[in-house]
Chains A and B, each alone.
Chain A
Amino acid sequence: MRVPLSWLKEYVDITLPVDELEERLTLAGLEVANVEYIGVEPPASVRFKKQIKPGDVVTGNGRIAWDKEKIFVGQVVNVEKHPDADRLTLVTVDYGAEETLTVVTGAPNLKPGDSGQKVAFATAGAMLIDAYADAFKVRKLKPGKIRGILSQGMVCSERELGLSDEHEGIILLPDDAPVGAPLADYLGDVVFDIDITPNMIRIASIIGVAREVAAITGADLHITMPAWQTSPPPADDYADVEIIDDDLCHRYTASIIRDVSVQPSPFWMQHRLKLIGQRPISNLVDVTNYVMFEWGQPLHAFDYDKLLARAKAIGKDKVKIIVRRANDGEKFTTLDGVERTLDADVLMICDEAGPIAIGGVMGGLETEVSDETRNVLLESAAFEFINVRQTAKKLKLPSEAAYRFSRGVPPRLNPIGNVRGAQLMADLGGGDIAQGMIDDYPRPQPVIEVPVTARDVQRWLGIDLSQDEIIDILQRLEFETRVEDDVIWGAAPWYRLDVSITADVLEEIARIYGYDAIPETLLADELPPQRRNWAWELEERLRDILVAAGLQETINYSMTSIENYRKTFPDNPEDAPGPEMFVTLANPLSQERSVMRRCLGVSALENLQRNLRYTDRMAVFEIGLGYRPELGDGVLPKEIRLLAIALTGPREPGDWLQGDDSPIDFFDAKGVLEALFERLGASDDVEYRAESAHIFGPKAAGVYLKGQKIGNVGEVHPKVREAFDLGDRPVALAGLQIAPLIPYIQTKKKLRAISNFPAVKEDIALVVDEAIPAGKVAALIRQTAGANLKDIRLFDVYRGDPIPPGKKSLAFSLTFQSPVKTLTDKDASKLRRKIVGRLSREIGAELREA
């Protein structure tokens, strides 16, 4: 909402400097998004201010300040033809100085013989906007000869003053403009652009803002209720009004304005409309807009004679306005010329011949006022706000009127707006007003009294106010108050629909008291029972472990595409989860982000795809949610906390030290998991079973925790790699559900006694069948050796001569240590024999001779 200070000052005394007013408004919830300075200098505190020089391009209204010593209100003394140019004239201007000045102009709205017009007159040295540059470029006015005649100044257009794009003619000021006054004093202004929160529709008018300024600053208001002069015959003789659907229309008022002539509005009205951002059209249309911005009441003007003609065409001799729901499929052409098909949720303004307007949203083409209009039926009504909102949205017809109706216009404003609009139309169009107002008011606006006590204020806001202080604040906001024991009953003024409970009143008290004046206190309330969030702590622990393992954390979009899932099923895309397995967005921004991911693996691949353009090595992880509708409860999907790890590229980045640049593979990813389980104390419960999944090639394993599968680790299938454009190197990927790991952070690891007796090392190489997993061999060794086996490390896997085909050799390094005695070589060989014996019996292992 654009609010010109000059207009605002008509209703409220403003003594605060502009920047201070801006701050006060903003703190009180009228957020000033921008302040435009029209022809005047911003206050010194405005921090972005910089000296504007010729050649600068400026933006926004109020692009330049008008130099008070160089730009004035002038009066045309006479206009002569330029001796050498048909299109140009010589204009002599009195601008209050001793001598008049003569300038050359091409303005079409000054003709030879004219005199007396008031103009904006710039003398040499004034900074103006270059009217012929594309952008708003600043230039300095210099005297110069135009076709041989010296021009000593300029009569300015709106564009040259930086007011608007208008450059067809020069700006003509009202007749009472004071000659010689600096233009900045006469026309300079400040326009606040205020963002309106949904609860503050009452400030979508200049008077609404004025009331807030008064309440916030304590200044006096000067708002007078509009009055009109009417004459017989009465309005009732011209039309009737009947509201049928009063759930959607709470009041409908109409007045009749007779014998007006359509013409441009006067300067003051046009100027105000321009400042507020509206284009002036004609007096009748401008009045409807003006009253909407002044009071907040949208008006609609019908051409009364067209309504009468429609009535007569169906054999009636009086107009009847009927407010009702549209019939399903009913057709109607709005004033933008578009034929629209309606339904029963749309509220229509009709006459007996059919619809004439969409209530609160847009008028009809047929009954709109035009240049020929003589008599007007002026509508001022109140509609149900949610319905207007839905209609405006459905028909894609946003407008200033619909904006206000869709947030609530109080019925009690209807007659005020109607009187104001009718009188302005009569004044500006030279007509008169029929006696009385036609008013159907089936749903009177309720008066809601809300109780508030000093205790409520203390309990909710933490400030101690006396009853009188509370009443004073409420009265500044024009609440009606009465006191009953310790309860103050406050009724909001008629122009507010947003106050219905005590908290609404408390908010008003806080706002006017000032949020900044409320003290800061530390919570004195009892401390709630404290609980740990183990799921969150686990995530944080996993992050720390993985970061320490050298992995970068990523956070990807939760949305992906089914297409990307299909790519992870290279051999049989039909096995990919179907649409029913996804939470699908009804209004995605793009197909690439149209479903919620089920797991994090696809996100990781998308991520590698983007990054492998810049780097050849990636080691990343993500912790986040997977969304599984099929496991959900009711309409909501199950959300599963997951971890993904993705690794690819050289094991170490290449440099002069020539580290290990062989490609990362399965065992790197598995190693990260092993380290992770080790840190959590879960290693003993984890096993890896050879099994693949759609996304992997043969080098893959299922990860099992206490026999339950919790995830996978493997090398991504080359076809999947190709589909995601990930290059030639292996991509190792692991995915885990993390909830099963929570118990491991809830239990503390127990220290195992550290033995001071010497350790004995034994190496043992075994030849076993290819099919026997190393993990099984190691497990058997552990079981057999018992508590004295402190460490077991697989240090070599060998196939080939002299090992027979179908066999492999596994070499383990075993460390034995006893907590109670020094183990002898004899003890060690005994254990070794025991191990070999058992392995030989159970898996046919043979000791490999060195």
Chain B
Amino acid sequence: MSQHQELIQLQAQAENELADARDEKQLEAWRIKWLGRKGLVPAAVKQIGSLPKEERAAYGQAVNRLKQAVQAAFEARRQQLREDAMAAELYAEGFDPTLPGRRPQIGRLHPSSATMREIAHIFAHMGFEVYTARDVETDEYNFQLLNFPKGHPAREMQDTFHTTVPDVLLRTHTSPGQIRVMRERYPEPIRVILPGKCYRYEQVTARSEMMFHQVEGLVVGKNITFADLKGTLQAFVDQLFGEGRQLRFRASHFPFTEPSAEVDVDCILCGGKGCRVCKYTGWLEILGCGMVHPNVLRNGGYDPEEWSGYAFGMGPERIAMLLHGVDDIRYFFSNDVRFLEQF
């Protein structure tokens, strides 16, 4: 057998044995046998020295080719085995991506807070500061200074929780804050919203609560008009419900504003076509508003000959009910987690 044939045979044998190496350990054993310092391939290389001179060049080339081929085969095999091992590890366990994940416990805002925050945010962009006033009030601040004299028929519109202290009551609206902020800020112009809890002596039903929130707005300045009120509310509604809402201002009566209006927005559910929520009118009542009554300005310390102002009020629960399709106001303060978890 020629030396060439021997080398070819040697290479074939090396490659056959390499194919049988199925893990790192077998591969290492193969390496020592073939490529190790005393391995078969170095041994074949060493044979050059024992050959006649004229054969050395040809043999040298052949044995070098052999060495490179075996080396390359080894590297390829090693890479292959690594990938096989990684794959075996990666796919060792069954994997079901539809199993539920590990969820962090998440918290949420109460929907009334979230709605109030949104309202406050929109008004903040228009320069309205948040002013907070007290819940337990005097008859004077809740009624008299707001132009509801004792015995006035408009008081009937607001059934009141009285306390055992004479003339101390739970505020029926956030409006007493109007007097408080005016008395505190005079003679500055005012632009505030007054968020807070209000209370009415009313049987609790799906539509009426004994406690609810209001957000009231008050602007007082030397140049404030009903047209400004309309512009402000349109800007607010466009931001809260989306651009292009229609507003409808209906004449109404509140003792502390004159003129007074109730404000409807075109039904966000049916777009004005008529549905159960808007009672087939196409309109949803969302706000009460008006120009601050001269008596109220005066009670706040502002001369109505010089100053004017507007006020508006809305119920975050009412708005949240419209936005989220809630049909029972009692959910808000029963704090049933099955309700709260949905926001």
Closest to A586 in B: B162
Contact string against B for A residues 519-537, beta-carbon threshold 8 Å, 1 for contact and 0 otherwise: 1111111111111110110
Nearest chain B residue, comparing its CB with the CB of A199: B253
Q: Which of A510, A526, A639 contacts B221 (CB 8 A)?
A: A526
In the complex, which residues of chain A have a beta carbon less than 8 angstroms from the beta carbon of B113?
A: 543, 553, 555
The interface residues of chain A lying within 8 Å CB-to-CB of B191 are: 523, 527-528
Question: Are A540 and B117 in touch, CB under 8 angstroms?
Answer: yes
- Say yes or no: is A683 at the interface (Cβ < 8 Å to chain B): no
Which B residues, 98 to 154, have Cβ-Cβ distances below 8 Å to chain A? 99-100, 102, 104-110, 112-113, 117, 126-127, 129-132, 134-138, 150-154
Q: What residues of chain B lie closer than 8 Å to A596, measured between beta carbons?
A: 136, 170
A674 contacts the other chain (Cβ, under 8 Å)?
no
Most buried by A among B99, B130, B153: B153
Q: Mark A351-370, 1 if CB is under 8 A from B, else 0.
A: 00000000000000000000
Say if the beta carbon of B165 comes within 8 Å of chain A.
Answer: yes
Are B126 and A506 in touch, CB under 8 angstroms? no
Q: Which of A571-596 contact B (CB under 8 A)?
A: 583-589, 593, 596
Binds A, one of B2-10, B47-55, B82-90, B223-231: B223-231
A101 beta carbon closer than 8 Å to chain B: no
* A314 lies within 8 A of chain B by Cβ: no
Residues of A within 8 Å of B30, CB to CB, are none
Binary B-proximity of A575-619 (CB < 8 A = 1, otherwise 0): 000000001111111000100100000000001001100110011
CB-CB under 8 A from A519, the residues of chain B are 227, 230-231
B225 touches A522 (CB 8 A): no
A48 at the interface (CB under 8 A from B): yes
State whether A406 touches B153 (Cβ < 8 A): yes
Q: Which residues of A contact B168 (CB under 8 A)?
A: 583, 635-636
Inter-chain contacts of A463 with B (CB < 8 A): 227
Residue in A199, A406, A460, A529 whose Cβ sees the most chain B Cβ within 10 Å:
A460
- Cα–Cα, bound, A64→B273 (Å): 24
**CB-contact partner of B227 in A46, A518, A548, under 8 A:** A518
Partner of B340, one of A198, A523, A554: A554
Asked whether B189 lies within 8 Å of A550 as measured between CB atoms, the reply is no
Stretch at the interface among B36-44, B57-65, B67-75, B243-251: B243-251
Q: How far is the CB of B342 from chain A (nearest CB, A)?
A: 11
- The answer to whether B178 has its CB under 8 Å from any CB of chain A is no
Residues of the A chain whose Cβ atoms lie less than 8 Å from the Cβ of B130: 533, 536
Interfacial chain A residues near B231, Cβ < 8 Å: 519-523
Chain A residues whose C-beta falls within 8 Å of the C-beta of B304 in the assembled complex: 503
When A586-B163, A610-B335 are in contact, do A389 and B134 touch as well, CB less than 8 Å? no
B 200-246 contacts with A by CB, 8 A? 201, 203-204, 210-211, 219, 221-228, 230-232, 234-235
Interface size class of A (residues with CB under 8 A): 35 or more
B261 touches A515 (CB 8 A): yes
Judge whether B105 and A550 touch: CB under 8 Å.
Answer: yes
- For residue A655, CB closer than 8 A to chain B, the reply is yes
Known: A459-B308, A533-B129, A584-B164. A528 touches B189 (CB 8 A): yes
Most A CB within 10 A of own CB, among B134, B210, B235, B251? B251
CB distance from B293 to the nearest CB of A (A): 6
CB of B141 to closest CB in A, whole Å: 9
Q: How far is the CB of B145 from chain A (nearest CB, A)?
A: 15
Task: Find chain B residues with CB under 8 A from A521 CB.
Answer: 225, 227-228, 230-231
Flag if B234 contacts A520 (CB, 8 Å).
yes
B188 near A529 with CB under 8 A, answer: yes
Are B294 and A636 touching (Cβ within 8 A)? no
Task: Say if the beta carbon of B197 comes within 8 Å of chain A.
Answer: yes
Shortest A665–chain B CB gap in Å is 16
Question: Given A554-B110, A614-B336, is A501 in contact with B294 using a C-beta cutoff of 8 Å?
Answer: yes
Is A462 in contact with chain B by the CB < 8 A criterion?
yes
Residue A625 at the chain B interface, CB threshold 8 Å:
yes
- Please give, as numbers and ranges, the residues of chain A lying within 8 Å of B153 by CB-CB distance: 198, 385, 389, 406-407
- A671 contacts partner chain B, Cβ-Cβ < 8 Å: no
B25 within 8 A of A: no
**Could you tell me the distance between the alpha carbons of A659 and B201 in the complex, rounded to whole angstroms?**
47
Partner of A587 from the list B152, B161, B219, B261 (CB cut-off 8 Å) is: B161
- Which among A524, A555, A556, A587 is the interface contact of B223 at CB below 8 angstroms? A524
Q: Is A546 at the interface (CB under 8 A from chain B)?
A: yes
Interface flag for A630 (CB, 8 Å):
no
Of B156, B163, B227, which is within 8 A of A462 by CB?
B227
**B338 interfacial contact with A, CB 8 Å:** yes
In the complex, A470→B168 CA distance in Å?
A: 44
**Closest beta carbon of chain B to A544's beta carbon, Å:** 9
Chain B proximity of A377: nearest CB distance (Å): 30
B23 lies within 8 A of chain A by Cβ: no
The reply to whether the CB of B259 lies closer than 8 angstroms to some CB of chain A is yes
Given A459-B225, A547-B107, A551-B107, are A48 and B251 neighbors across the interface (CB < 8 Å)?
Answer: no
Interchain CA distance A27-B99 in the complex, whole Å: 58
Q: Does B260 touch A at the CB level, under 8 Å?
A: yes
Task: Give the residues in chain A near B228, CB-CB below 8 Å.
Answer: 462, 521-525
B258 adjacent to A504 (CB under 8 Å): yes
**Which of chain B's residues 8-24 have a Cβ closer than 8 Å to chain A?**
none
Residues in A whose Cβ lies below 8 Å from that of B261: 515
Question: In the bound complex, what is the Cα–Cα distance between A532 and B124 (angstroms)?
Answer: 11
Q: Does B311 contact A (CB under 8 A)?
A: no
Query: Which chain A positions have C-beta within 8 A of B132?
Result: 533, 535-536
A553 to B114, CA, bound (A): 10
Give the CA-CA distance A527 to B281 in the complex, in Å.
Answer: 38
- Decide: A585 and B161 in contact? CB cutoff 8 A: yes
Taking a contact as CB atoms under 8 Å apart, the answer to whether B100 and A655 are in contact is: yes
Which residue of chain A lies nearest to B204 when distances are taken between CB atoms in the complex?
A: A589
- Contact call A460/B109, Cβ cutoff below 8 A: no
Interface contact B225-A47, CB-CB below 8 Å: no
- With contacts A31-B252, A48-B274, A523-B126 taken as known, whether A198 is within 8 angstroms of B154 at the C-beta atoms is yes
Q: Which residues of A contact B (CB under 8 A)?
A: 26-29, 31, 46-48, 197-200, 385-386, 389-390, 406-407, 458-463, 501-504, 506-507, 510-511, 515-516, 518-533, 535-536, 540, 543, 546-559, 583-589, 593, 596, 607, 610-611, 614-615, 618-621, 624-625, 627, 635-637, 639, 652, 655-657, 659
Closest 6 CB pairs of A and B: A462-B227, A462-B225, A29-B251, A47-B274, A550-B105, A386-B151
Q: Can you name 12 A-B pairs with beta carbons within 8 Å?
A: A27-B248, A46-B280, A198-B156, A463-B227, A503-B258, A506-B259, A526-B189, A526-B221, A528-B191, A532-B129, A583-B165, A620-B335
Q: A523-B126, A523-B191, A536-B132 are in contact. List 4 more A-B contacts (CB 8 A).
A: A198-B156, A536-B130, A549-B107, A555-B113
